[in-house]
Amino acid sequence: MNSVLEKVRSFFLKPLPKFFFPISCILFAYVLIMNSWVTEDAYISFRTVENFLNGFGLRWNTYERVQAYTHPLWLFGLIFLSFWTIPVYYSSLILSWICVGLTACLLVARFGKKEGNLFHGSWIFLILLTSRAFVDFSSSGLENPLSFLLIVLFLGKAFDLEKKADFRDIFLFFFYLSLSYLNRQDTVLLGLPFLLYLYKPLKENKSWGRFIGAAILGLLPVVLWSAFSLVYYGYLFPNTAYAKLNTDLTVSHLWPYGIEYLENSFRWDIFTSLTISSVILFLPYFLCKKKFLQAALSAGVGLYTLYICSIGGDFMAGRFFALPFVACIFLFSGFSGAYIPRVSVLFFVALFLLNQNSYLYITKDYTRLRNDGEIQDEKGAYFRSTNLLRSFNFKEFPTHGWADVGRNYKKTPKDPDKACSTINVGFYGYFAGENRKIIDSNALTDPLLSKLKSVSNWRVGHFTRNIPLGYLESVTSGQNLIQDPNLKVYYDRLKLLTESEDLFTKERFMEILRENLGGNRNLIQNSGPRTPWVGIPEDFRCGLGVGY
């Protein structure tokens, strides 16, 4: 019996054979490319990219300045690649592949450096593929891949502070944190606990002046972007943040949906969930052993998970658990346990290689329409219409009905000056062209609706608003025809922020100040009871289906 146990132990303690490395690399690249797709929501940002490249500025509707994207850094990456006449669909996939590839290589190199042999880190390629959330959002057109890369860069620098904390290290610490903020603001929650750890080297070196100087320099990208956003858009934060967080819903409303989002992850993506949970549960152990950097990472993952639950999670299954999963793999890549590589390979074989439903065996015709309450398998819903392999077979791609409606409108526009409204603005908005005036009933791209409370029959991630009487007519005519007297005054003030040609008038700056300090709240009637969605007036529907 002891000899058997000894053989098992000896097996797990052996390093992985060198031939595992090229096999792991090829397998990782194959799964990544075969699973490449783009979600409908990504086309909201794509429209801003096209409008910018066509000379309209960073706008979604060309007649107004609204930040309809959450991820400035990701957007500029798309703009850079698309500038070289690469279609934005392929730009998003190329940028995703670069970011995910660099993320995996940095993790492999971290483990290989610790073990003294790069080939020993090949297990990381395989363990990343075992996460459904990671594979799903390694593409999708959303900002996740760049968030993966930035969090690994940030954590790498944060863990280096244990060895040295000179001016350059402090600068890079805050610089990577700034870039993470500019890619998606809530990702900085993963890094906040590390600020407490900085107190230790500062106390020992008493270099407060250098620390403050390095921190200010590192945070400069956030300061510069915030200044631009305030002047250009009139707000510090993206309109998407107001649309999803300014709903007049409390944490008590949203928390149950957040718990459901967490439970869904355990049902649909058990390995990701167990990985994140194990890192959070190890927090007391790290504190007890005075492993403060590991404890900071564990606390950051826990803080981020709590935040996701507090906002009700999301309707895209797994989207917000992919990033903390990568952070957890970073932690494991720093462990020196000889058993980790082979145990990881066993997990990969059991959960991925031998699983006929795994993404290793995906085809271009893959479809999996499934919902878990408010939560949807977003990739399963859109993969067949937007995956990479099918894109080579069609002249007009994606092959989705909403995209076709947009294309048809652009070819033969009807009432080109008339505004329309829908709740699905991604495909339609992009393909209908820059001149189409579209009101997003979910308020992601609309500066007025994002300030109003959501309807009573809202859905997580889709906080629909009722359209004020006269608003669609106002957008169509260019005149303020809103019937509510207070909202009419507010709309005039809002147009000064979003539509005035001169950005630098005293009147506009005073209005920016009043708006951001809450001086217009009395004009927005959000104190009454929440009402059901009354739908979109028939004459103003975009024609994507019954009701919208």
| pLDDT reported for residue 531 | 86
Block residue for tokens 């903390």: 324
Q: What is the pLDDT of residues 107-137, one digit of tens each?
A: 999 988 887 777 778 889 999 999 999 999 9
d(CA 106, CA 408): 45
Mean pLDDT of 467-494: 95
Q: Give pLDDT, residue 219.
A: 96
Q: Flag whether pLDDT at 347 surpasses 90.
A: no
- Strand 438-440 to strand 375-376: parallel, antiparallel, or no bridges (unpaired)? unpaired
Query: Does residue 11 carry a pLDDT above 60?
Result: no
Question: What's the pTM value of the predicted model, to 2 decimals?
Answer: 0.94
**What's residue 266's pLDDT?**
94
Using alpha carbons, list the distances in angstroms from residue 462 to 320, 424, 456. 16, 10, 12
Q: Phi and psi (nearest 5°) for 255? A: -55, -45
The per-residue pLDDT of the chain, averaged, comes to 90
Q: What is the H or E stretch that residue 101 is in? A: helix 88-115
Instruction: Please say if the pLDDT value at position 9 is more than 70.
Output: no
C-alpha–C-alpha distance, residues 455 and 466, integer Å:
7
Maximum Cα–Cα distance across the chain:
86
Coil, helix or strand at residue 376: strand
Concatenating the DSSP letter of every residue in 431-462 gives: HT-TT--EEETT-SS-TTGGGSPPPTT-BTTB
Query: How sure is the predictor about 5, in pLDDT bands with cuts at 50, 70 and 90?
Result: low
Distance CA 458, CA 311 (A): 14
At 516, give phi and psi (nearest 5°).
-80, -15
The pLDDT value recorded for residue 27 is 93
Q: pLDDT tens across 173-203, in order?
A: 999 999 999 999 999 999 999 988 777 666 6
For residue 459, what pLDDT is reported?
Answer: 85
Share of the chain above pLDDT 90, in %: 70
Q: How confident is the model at residue 204 (pLDDT cuts 50, 70, 90)?
A: low
**Of 22-26, 88-92, 143-147, the least confident:** 22-26
pLDDT tens profile 310-342? 999 999 999 999 999 999 999 998 876 667 777
Contact 409, 429 (CB under 8 A): no
Q: Which residue has the higher pLDDT, 354 or 143?
A: 143
CB 108 within 8 A of CB 261: no
Stretch 132-145: mean pLDDT: 96
Residue 338's pLDDT is 65
pLDDT at 372 exceeding the cut of 60: yes
Nearest Cα to Cα of residue 432 among 61, 19, 153 = 61
Q: Is the pLDDT of residue 377 over 80?
A: yes
Count of C-beta atoms within a 10 Å radius of residue 501? 5
Instruction: Report the candidate in 60, 128, 53 with the shortest Cα–Cα distance to residue 347.
Output: 128
What is the model's pLDDT at position 3?
67
Q: Which residues pair with 385 in a beta bridge?
A: none
Instruction: Please tell me the predicted confidence (pLDDT) of residue 212.
Output: 85
- Average the pLDDT over each of 271-275, 357-361, 424-428 and give the range with the smallest value: 357-361
Per-residue confidence (pLDDT) for residue 323, from 0 to 100: 97
pLDDT score recorded for residue 336: 66
| Distance of alpha carbon 36 from alpha carbon 370, whole angstroms | 19
Q: What is the pLDDT of residues 77-95, one digit of tens each?
A: 999 999 999 999 999 999 9
